[in-house]
Homo-oligomer: A and B are copies of this chain.
Amino acid sequence: MTTCDLLIEGAWVLTCNPAMEVIPGGWVAVQAGRVLALGRPGKERPREAAERIDAAGAILLPGLVNAHTHLPMTLFRGLADDLPLERWLNDFIFPAERLILDPETVHAAALLALAELALSGTTTCCDGYFYADAVAEAVLASGLRAVVGQGVIDFPAPGVPDPSQNLAAAEAFCDRWEGRSPRVRPSVFCHAPYTCSEKTLAGAKRLCAARGLLFQTHAAETHREREECLARHGLTPIGLLERAGVLDERSLLHHAVWADGSDLEILARRGSAVSHNPESNLKLAAGIAPLPEMLSRRIPVGLGTDGSASNNDLDLFGAMDLAAKVHKAARLDPTAVSAAEILRLATRQGARAIGMGAEIGAIEPGKQADLVLLETRAPHLTPLHDPVSAVVYAARGADVRTVIVGGRRVVENGRVLSFDPAPAAARVEEAAARLRRLLAPPAPGPA
């Protein structure tokens, strides 16, 4: 260990290893895209490095893992807020999806979303949407990593007008993307147990299981979903998913806000994972998920933002802040969940939840060199009594100075280096303006 490609020195290193060790003034050596070694100031380090970063006073953490996104929904950010869920979906989101989506627009919106992720320190996301090929191409072009799920729903959908072809479309997508790039992992994303039949769910899971891919679905997001599922099937949404045979350690359920004790027992027994999306759950009035109970049952939980239409941003720092706070108030217990626990969800636990725990989510020898350097010389991060507290409770995406994915610089000083987001932004603005015209009520006559 005498040389390396990159040596980062002098940072607070938040390793996010199993002990969540923090190394003050530590160094990290990168070689061939992976973490070669790391250590305390005194520990012997590579003598030569092709490149060095002086990170004195900064915080180095693993690239954040966003466990639940719908990247192209960036198109609908702020289009309609503060509405009842049914009006939001039926009067805005569903018509908007019918009116405006095509592969090129989805590609542009996904690329813009990936720029937002990169600039705010997220290096991997777990996505699900329609036109998943366009999303996967955007990920490939962006330099980031993602699990990309092809959406499956038992209704006519963007890109899949005939629902009888939804599994075939998902299979074809997986065929095209399996093994194509180490940065893109295909997946199948069933919309929900109330929009997919048990047969569809089981078929999607079989498709995933045969290839070792992640199966995703929304589940138990709202109280109404739970009540209707109980009335229709005599089972909770998670009970129904178990009966459909789709729950194992390669299944990821998004939200699980209304999971009760037996539901959590099922998830713990099956080894299935959950994404926790507190900003979306609050904004859409879904409720507050039982995160402390999930953690005490050792269910793998990742942290997510959900899509920009229901958040309205993809900054995982905001999600960390909220996740660390909201459960304290909901239980009147300031020890309900700690800042370090939330940082773990946003890194190593999130990586595990999306099936990438062996590769990413921590700064450990052999793992991918997905690294984020946070600037701390700012009033809102001064003084720095505790770097974990600073990351969770005070830092924001805008504090990110450098982002590295697989050893490659993706962001530096607020600028994306791995691609140019401007053409994507222009195309999204144009599509958004067109969408507003299409959705607008007919103009009244002259006043």
- Cβ of A82 and Cβ of B335 under 8 Å apart? yes
Chain A 65-77 interface 0/1 with B at a Cβ cutoff of 8 Å (1 = within): 0000000001111
Closest-by-CB residue of B relative to A288 is B329
Chain A 364-402 interface 0/1 with B at a Cβ cutoff of 8 Å (1 = within): 000000000000011110111110011001101111000
Q: In the complex where A223-B332, A282-B325, A329-B287 touch, is A380 in contact with B397 (Cβ < 8 A)?
A: yes
- Cβ of B82 and Cβ of A428 under 8 Å apart? no
- Cβ of B312 and Cβ of A389 under 8 Å apart? yes
User: A270 contacts the other chain (Cβ, under 8 Å)?
Assistant: no
User: A284 contacts the other chain (Cβ, under 8 Å)?
Assistant: yes
Chain A 53-92 interface 0/1 with B at a Cβ cutoff of 8 Å (1 = within): 0000000000000000000001111110111110010000
Q: In the complex where A88-B334, A334-B82, A393-B312 touch, is A283 in contact with B325 (Cβ < 8 A)?
A: yes
- Please tell me the number of chain A residues within 8 Å of chain B, measured between CB atoms: 77
Q: Which of B88, B308, B331, B389 has a CB less than 8 Å from the CB of A78? A: B389
Please report the C-alpha to C-alpha distance between residue A296 and residue B305 in the assembled complex, in whole angstroms: 31
Please report the C-alpha to C-alpha distance between residue A312 and residue B74 in the assembled complex, in whole angstroms: 29
Chain B contacts for A308, CB-based, 8 A: 394
A388 to chain B, nearest CB (A): 9
Please report the C-alpha to C-alpha distance between residue A279 and residue B325 in the assembled complex, in whole angstroms: 7
- Cβ of A113 and Cβ of B379 under 8 Å apart? yes
- Cβ of A119 and Cβ of B379 under 8 Å apart? yes
Q: In the complex where A283-B393, A396-B398 touch, is A384 in contact with B78 (Cβ < 8 A)?
A: yes
Copies of this chain, whole number: 2
Please report the C-alpha to C-alpha distance between residue A83 and residue B389 in the assembled complex, in whole angstroms: 13
User: A249 contacts the other chain (Cβ, under 8 Å)?
Assistant: no
User: A266 contacts the other chain (Cβ, under 8 Å)?
Assistant: no
Please report the C-alpha to C-alpha distance between residue A80 and residue B311 in the assembled complex, in whole angstroms: 29
- Cβ of B332 and Cβ of A287 under 8 Å apart? yes
Most B CB atoms within 10 A — which of A77, A84, A421? A77
Chain B contacts for A311, CB-based, 8 A: 393
Closest-by-CB residue of B relative to A332 is B285
Q: Which of B88, B285, B329, B335 has a CB less than 8 Å from the CB of A84? A: B335
Please report the C-alpha to C-alpha distance between residue A385 and residue B78 in the assembled complex, in whole angstroms: 6
Interface residues of A in 311-351 (CB under 8 A from B): 311-315, 318, 321-322, 324-326, 328-339
- Can you spell out 13 A-B residue pairs with CB atoms less than 8 angstroms apart? A78-B390, A81-B339, A83-B335, A85-B334, A279-B321, A282-B325, A284-B334, A285-B328, A288-B329, A318-B321, A396-B398, A398-B398, A398-B399
Q: Which residues of A contact B (CB under 8 A)?
A: 74-79, 81-85, 88, 112-113, 115-116, 119-120, 223, 279, 281-288, 308, 311-315, 318, 321-322, 324-326, 328-339, 377-380, 382-386, 389-390, 393-394, 396-399, 421, 425, 428-429, 431-433, 436
Given contacts A77-B394, A284-B328, A377-B425, 19 further A-B pairs with CB under 8 A are A74-B383, A75-B383, A78-B394, A82-B339, A84-B335, A88-B334, A116-B379, A119-B380, A281-B329, A283-B324, A283-B325, A285-B332, A287-B329, A287-B332, A311-B393, A312-B390, A385-B436, A396-B396, A396-B397
